[in-house]
Structure 1
Amino acid sequence: MRPKLRILAIVEGHGEQTAVPVLLRRWFQHRGFRDFETPDLAIRASGSGALKCPHDDDDALGIEYYVEMAASERPDGILVMLDSDDECLVRARTPSRPGLGPELLRRARAIAPHIPIEVVVANREYEAWFLASLASLRRTTRIPRGSRLPTPLSDIETIRDCKKRLTQLLGRPYEETTDQPDFTGVLPFTPAMARRSRSYRKLLKALDALTRAARRNRRRSR
């Protein structure tokens, strides 16, 4: 039996370290991809902004440092995920400046050109995807059924401090390390969800591209 294709994730947050592997495994299952796997824990960068910083091996900074770390495990693909916060909006005001995602992707691929890599930037936070999937969270009773957002679903990615909004909806503090992987377990892979969140739509496209490239590389290596 051939070994499964292994995708490694690189993230910045404590919650994402367990949530993104949940997301990957659910997506593999959704697509019927039995030939893919991912570890239970993603590689976590040393803090918010660590992936965006200039490369510095001594201080464990820069996307290059973490891609090198992941590449040393000889994966079939690498997914890098981080929150944009407000950086994507700031860059959009300067047309001559590249977008955050494309810039990080270029830097990452320069370090490991032999490994398929995709970079996904959640706008503004990973938790915005939970707000976009509020109906699923209510249906599975993770959020009280009567909870409502004052913001239209079409404007989800304009919301700041999504964690605070989730706390209000939950009626208790949102706990990143426990709620994030749990809520990720019900994120829908539907066209409606992709329409509500442009960055989630980019995630799904990136996963398609990453798995296609990983399979293509495996075939070439036979």
Structure 2
Amino acid sequence: MSSPYPVIASIVEGHGEERSLQALLHRLVPYLVPGAYAEIQRPFRVPRDRMLRRDVLEHALTIVTTRMPSPTGVMVLLDADDDCAVELAERLRSHAQATHAHMPVVAVAAVREFEAWFLAGAAGLAGKAGLPGTLASPPQPEAVRGAKEWLSRRMPRGSTYQETAHQPSFATLFDLDEARRAASSFDKFCRDVQFLLTGKRES
């Protein structure tokens, strides 16, 4: 069954992203393409070490691409940790191309971790979840080791950042414009989502 609008499937590595990516994509659709609509399917989770195996990624892609309505594109998202984000994303994209060349598949590795995007768009989190109203991004958010810890240190005494509790809500709050300017991997993520929506790459 084909759909008259884009249908985006996704593969993620963590429990937090399993909940937060869907909310973030819903937010990004009108932000990137005003007036657009897309169906955002529930992410399929595969642990990071297994996702990097071609056979495992192939199996995951087969699962998500046979859902109904049929996806028009797939987003693969994971944290780069200490690896090169560009090389990691290209490795995943190459694996996907080898087995699912018929399906538009994009791969994004968040530099360090997903939460680095929250640091890049920290102004949108100011005053939320006990964070200070004056919260501002660090100079190089993607260079921060331990973005989760950075957030925890700015929460009230006795509170800590909890991925499954905070990531879904923070994904709906962080400043998208700031994050695109300050985090190159988030800008790539936005450009890839726009490609899945329009079928066109920015020149």
> Into which bin does the TM-score normalised by the smaller protein fall?
0.7 to 0.9
Instruction: Name the SS of the counterpart of 1:110 in structure 2.
Output: helix
Aligned pair partner of 2:180 in 189, 194, 204: 194
Q: What's the counterpart of residue 44 of structure 1?
A: 45
Q: Are the counterparts in 1 of residues 123 and 135 from structure 2 also a CA contact under 8 Å?
A: no
Which letter maps to 1:53? Answer: R
Of the three residues 49, 73, 95, the one matched with 1:77 is: 73
SS in 1 for 2:61: helix
Counterpart code for 1:105: R
Are residue 65 (structure 1) and residue 53 (structure 2) matched?
A: no
Which of the numbers 169, 188, 196 marks the counterpart of 1:182? 169
- Corresponding residue number in structure 2 for 1:165: 150
Query: Distance between the aligned counterparts of 1:6 and 1:26, measured in 2?
Result: 15
User: What letter is aligned with 1:82?
Assistant: L
1:9 aligns with 2:5: no
Distance 1:107 1:130 in 2: 29
Q: C-alpha distance in 1, partners of 2:76/2:54?
A: 16
Change (3 A) 1:142 1:64: farther
Q: Give the structure with higher Rg (CA).
A: 1
Which runs of structure 2 are paired with 1:3-152 in the superposition (5 Å)? 3-30=4-31, 31-39=33-41, 41-45=42-46, 47-55=47-55, 62-73=56-67, 74-88=70-84, 99-138=87-126, 140=128, 143-147=131-135, 152=138
Q: For 2:130 and 2:169, how far apart are their aligned partners in 1?
A: 9
Deviation string 1:92-140 (CA, Å, 9 cap, x unpaired) is xxxxxx8111111011122211111110110010000111111110055
Q: Percent identity?
A: 30
Offset, 1:141 = 6.0
1:137–1:183: 8 Å Cα contact kept in structure 2? yes
- The structure-2 alpha-carbon separation of the partners of 1:189 and 1:37, relative to structure 1 and needing over 3 Å to count, comes to same
Amino acid at match of 1:63: L
Shift of 1:166: 1.1
- The letter for the 1-side match of 2:174 is L
Unaligned runs of at least 5 residues, structure 1? 56-61, 90-97, 215-222
Q: TM-score, normalised by structure 2?
A: 0.86
Q: CA RMSD in A?
A: 2.1
Q: Is the 8 A contact 2:120 2:179 kept in 1?
A: yes
AA aligned to 1:198 is S
Equivalent pairs counted in the alignment come to 193
Cα deviations across residues 161-205 of structure 1 (Å, max 9, x unaligned)?
111111111231111112001000013332x42221011111111
- Tell me how far 1:35 sits from its aligned partner: 3.2
Task: Tell me, yes or no, if the aligned pair for 2:129 and 2:155 is still in contact at 8 Å.
Answer: no
Contact 1:148/1:169 (<8 A) preserved: no
Matches for 1:200-215 after TM superposition, within 5 Å: 200-213=186-199
| Aligned equivalents of 1:23, 1:12: Cα separation in 2 | 16
For residues 98 and 193 of structure 2, what CA distance do their matches in structure 1 show? 20
Question: 1:26-78 CA distances to partner (integer Å, 9 max, x unpaired)?
Answer: 01122234431112x31111x232211342xxxxxx32221121112231110
> 2:176 aligns to what SS in structure 1?
coil
The structure-2 alpha-carbon separation of the partners of 1:202 and 1:148, relative to structure 1 and needing over 3 Å to count, comes to: closer
Structure 2: which amino acid aligns with 1:163? K
Distance 1:66 1:144 in 2: 40
